[in-house]
Amino acid sequence: MKVFVILPAAGLGTRMASHAAPGKKAAPSKQFTDLAGTPILVHTLRKFASVARVSEVWVALRQPEISGFQARLRQEYPDVMKKRVELIEGGEQRQQSVANGLKAIAAAHAEAGDEMADDDIILVHDAVRPLVSTEIIEDVLRAVEKHGAAIAGLPAIDTIKQVERKPEGAVIHTTIPRASVVMAQTPQGFRYGLLKKAFADAAADGFLGTDEASLLEHTGVPVAVVMGSPRNLKITAPADMELAEFYLKH
């Protein structure tokens, strides 16, 4: 059984981007923004490269970014390259980027005469969650071995309201009990056979999910949840950078 990681990193990160002044170079995509002097994506790669059970990491990027980042990895971050790290072209949506990753992994191993097994494990992780712990990664792997599919998640702290959107604004429809709600994080892990079928079913049905777990839900496959962490934050706005830097220092 092998463990493969897919990092979808083809997004533009518009909430992080700042408007460049005339004549000045635009800010980099958020996954390439420096966090404590190192690109966010490199922090994330290091976390998975340090996990012994991980065999390979596949990163889905926008095509113009691939060659430049490949060169940076080789020249500046040789520690990351101790694992097999492959860069591929991503898609407009996360679902397409992960689908491209699945196809690329399967094709590479078929070409090498090493076919993927249905019980191999695929981990999908947000490229901009650089503070994920080894403990969370290992917990998700153990849960996938037991249940076939699992994600990291956090219990909801705030009261959750379901609302109805109206022209004059949102109106509360009902209060959702917090005990039945978790806030999904990554990594999300799946047996390769289950995830491959979920993607095939989603494509056949024209279904676009918000994450990989939603594709399994769509096919009726139960997905387990293991405890995540508030430190495992997704960097989407400038304020998240400040919090991530604080966590790195402490």
CATH at residue 37: 3.90.550.10
List of the chain residues with pLDDT < 50: 14, 18-24, 26
Per-residue pLDDT, 142: 98
**pLDDT of 113-162, one tens digit each?**
999 999 999 999 999 999 999 999 999 999 999 999 999 999 999 999 99
Cα-based torsion angle of the residue sequence 182, 222, 116, 130 in order, rounded to the nearest 10 degrees: 0
3-class SS string, 144-188: HHHHCEEEEEEECCCCEEEEEEECCEEEEEEEECHHHCEEEEEEE
- Residues 6+ away with beta carbon under 8 Å from 41: 7, 9, 31, 32, 59, 69, 127, 128, 130
Place of tokens 């966010």: 40
Establish if 147 belongs to a structural domain: no
**pLDDT at position 27, please?**
55
Full domain range(s) for residue 195: 3-130+187-220+233-249
**Number of domains making up the chain:** 1
Q: Domain for residue 143, yes or no? A: no
Q: CA–CA separation, 111 vs 45, rounded Å?
A: 25
- pTM equals 0.92
